[in-house]
Each structure stands twice: as C-alpha cells, then as structure tokens.
Amino acid sequence: MAAIEARVDPPVELRVMVAEDLDEVVAIERASYAVPWTGQTFRGLIDRSDTDAITATRGGRVVGFAIAWSVADQGELGNVAVAPEARCAGIGEGLVREAVARLGRRGVREIFLEVRVSNGSARRLYERLGFVEIGRRKNYYVRPVEDAIVMRKRLRPRRTEGPGWTPLIPG
C-alpha cells in the first residue's frame, strides 16, 4: 500500500482494487461518466493478470480509482475517476502516477490514453505528467458525441542496479 501526496486529511492511500471495492467504484464511475463501465466490467478487469486496478482510499472509503493494462511493451490508461467530493486534491494525479509506475515495472515502453476534447483539466494533468497529444479519434465519445484526444507517454529505461538490469521508469 502506498500513500500519495494529496491535499486532504485523513491521508489517501493507494492499494490494489478488490471485489469488495466495486460498489463504491461503480458509484464513482456513474458520477463521473455519461456512459459508465459496469460492475461486471470492473470485476473482469481485477481478475486479469495484465491489468493494474488501483483504488485510492481515505478513511476506509474508496475515493478514486485507476485502471491500466499492458500488452507486450505498450500500456493503456483505460479509466481514472475521483469521487466528486474528493476532486481537486491531488488524488487523480496520484492515481495516474501510480498507474504509470506500475506499467513501467511491467516493461511497458509507451502508454496511451484517450481523453475528451472538452476535458481541459484532465488534459492539463496528463500533459503535466509527460503525456503528449498524438492524434484524435473523431466522435469517439457519446452522450454527448465528442472527439477524443489520443495521448502518449514514452517511458525510458534506466539502469539502477547491477549489470544488465534496466527496469523501465516514467520518463
């Protein structure tokens, strides 16, 4: 379990998502997205070996989550959400940083994500964390129909231990 530098009290802790979290995760998802993922979707993801499902908890309550997965040396940041009452406190940033770090430990060399054109706060967060815009998906989102900005973050190898040991770390 890791703690994040969030501007809230009590402190926020990050941990692996478990089935007992799903009611709170789905509630946050529904409050955050017009077309939310289902509980069944989350349940399937937490059982996959190629997926990192992370929850942010505060005072025993789930206040946010991130879902990321990898295929070979590519990763996807598939979903990040923070409960409305917990937003603007650094929790989303902590979740993204943790997802990026975990993907790097899996050997991922680049991470992709899609974000609504209108979601300026998320786009600025991703840019601050090293993601760059590489394309656009026309009419990717529904309710309302809107383009997605495709963003990528490259991870760079760094030698930190012994000969031949080169884990990937966020660049």
> Cα–Cα distance between 48 and 67 in angstroms, integer?
11
In Å, the largest CA–CA distance within the chain is: 52
Residue 157: which H helix or E strand, with range?
strand 146-157
- Position with higher pLDDT, 7 vs 114: 114
pLDDT for 158 equals 52
> Cα–Cα distance between 94 and 97 in angstroms, integer?
5
In this predicted model, what pLDDT tens digit does every residue of 59-94 receive, in sequence order? 999 999 999 999 999 999 999 999 999 999 999 999
Please, which pLDDT band fits residue 156 given cuts at 50, 70 and 90? Answer: confident
The average confidence (pLDDT) of the chain is 89
Residue ranges of domains in the chain: 2-170
In this predicted model, what pLDDT tens digit does every residue of 26-49 receive, in sequence order? 999 999 999 999 999 999 999 999
Contact 5, 42 (CB under 8 A): no
User: What distance, in Å, lies between the first and last C-alpha atoms of the chain?
Assistant: 23
pLDDT at 1 over 80: no
> Cα–Cα distance between 7 and 125 in angstroms, integer?
16
Contact 99, 56 (CB under 8 A): no
Q: Whole-prediction pTM value?
A: 0.86
* DSSP-derived 3-state class of residue 93: helix
In this predicted model, what pLDDT tens digit does every residue of 91-131 receive, in sequence order? 999 999 999 999 999 999 999 999 999 999 999 999 999 99
pLDDT for 2 equals 62
Tokens 């060399």 appear where? 109
Residue 126: which H helix or E strand, with range?
helix 120-128
Catalytic residues: 114, 126
The CATH number assigned to the domain with range 2-170 reads 3.40.630.30
